[in-house]
């Protein structure tokens, strides 16, 4: 695991976007794994800037998002699909037929999860997976638990995650369940870029980097990945 500590969130966004842009310029039909949350937003803005300048074309890129809340229509403004459409896919010119999401509306969620994994494999695997991290060390929506998940699955969200994400919901209550890629799916990505900023992430970052590899800190599994780079500001890195 490589660690890069940068001074500002803008510097982090510049570094991470450069890696993603280089990937897409070299391989226009790249497969990218995307994350939601506030951590990647500035990176997404840099990708949009590059598209507007005409220095990149995302129309042949295939995407897989990490996770989605159960029970929300894609048109629901709180859904992660809506988040990605607004923050990246529409302004950066991604082609919707290449965009993949776990459907939080599916009745047979096990079938949806199996199909998602098969589709990632059919597309040749994920070239670069972008990640944030939860305050409790979750990646995607893989909450602390007794074992590492392998493939996509339905998860009951931890109270600390519901509290952290309540700010995105006017009524203060996110759905209790979500579908997420498993830790195994994330580790299968060829390259992983993780962004964490702010003091609220410092303990999770310490556990991820310095702690044991344990499903109690799902992000610690990244210690076993051959090509992961973690981009931190000083506040997130303060306990390393
Ligand atoms: C959410 C998402 C994660 C994200 C994390 C951190 O729960 N499911 O994919 O990485 O929270 O979010 P933020 O970047 O807003 O701190």
Query: Of 3-12, 19-28, 47-56, 99-108, where does mean pLDDT reach its minimum?
Result: 99-108
**Which pLDDT tens digit goes with each residue over 214-231?**
999 999 999 999 999 999
CB of 67 closer than 6 angstroms to any ligand 1 atom: yes
Q: How many CB atoms lie within 10 A of CB 90?
A: 12
Q: Which residue has the tokens 């498993």?
A: 182
Does the pLDDT at position 29 exceed 90?
Answer: yes
* Ligand 1 near 218 CB (within 6 A): no
Predicted confidence (pLDDT) per residue in 52-109, tens digit: 999 999 999 999 999 999 999 999 999 999 999 999 999 999 999 999 999 989 889 9
Cβ of 65 less than 6 Å from ligand 1: no
The question of whether 136 is a catalytic residue gets the answer yes
The distance between the two most distant Cα atoms of the chain, rounded to a whole number of Å, is 47
DSSP string, 37-104: SSTTHHHHHHHHHHHHHTS---TT-EEEESEEETT--TTSTTSHHHHHIIIIIHHHT--GGGEE---T
pLDDT at 162: 93
Strand extents, DSSP E, 177-216: 177-180, 191-196
pLDDT tens-digit map of 124-178: 999 999 999 999 999 999 999 999 999 999 999 999 999 989 988 988 899 999 9
For the entire predicted model, the pTM comes to 0.97
């Amino acid at each position: 695991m490589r660690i890069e500590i940068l001074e500002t969130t803008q510097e982090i966004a510049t570094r991470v976007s450069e890696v993603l842009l280089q990937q897409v310029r070299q391989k226009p039909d790249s497969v990218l794994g995307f994350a939601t949350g506030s951590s990647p937003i500035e990176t997404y803005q840099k990708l949009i800037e590059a598209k507007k300048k005409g220095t990149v074309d995302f129309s042949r890129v295939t995407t897989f998002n990490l996770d989605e809340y159960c029970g929300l229509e894609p048109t629901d403004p709180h859904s992660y699909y809506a988040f990605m459409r607004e923050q990246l896919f529409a302004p950066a010119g991604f082609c919707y037929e290449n965009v993949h999401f776990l459907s939080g509306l599916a009745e047979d969620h096990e079938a949806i999860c199996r199909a998602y994994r098969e589709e990632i494999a059919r597309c040749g695997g994920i070239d670069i997976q972008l990640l944030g991290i939860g305050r409790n060390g979750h990646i995607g929506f893989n909450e602390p638990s007794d074992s590492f998940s392998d493939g996509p699955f339905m998860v009951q969200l931890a109270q600390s995650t519901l509290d952290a994400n309540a700010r995105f919901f006017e009524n203060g209550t996110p759905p209790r369940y979500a579908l997420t890629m498993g830790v195994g799916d994330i580790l299968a990505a060829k390259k992983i870029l993780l962004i964490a900023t702010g003091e609220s992430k410092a303990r999770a970052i310490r556990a991820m980097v310095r702690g044991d590899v344990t499903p109690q800190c799902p992000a610690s599994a990244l210690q076993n990945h051959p090509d992961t780079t973690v981009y931190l500001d000083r506040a997130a890195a303060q306990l390393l």
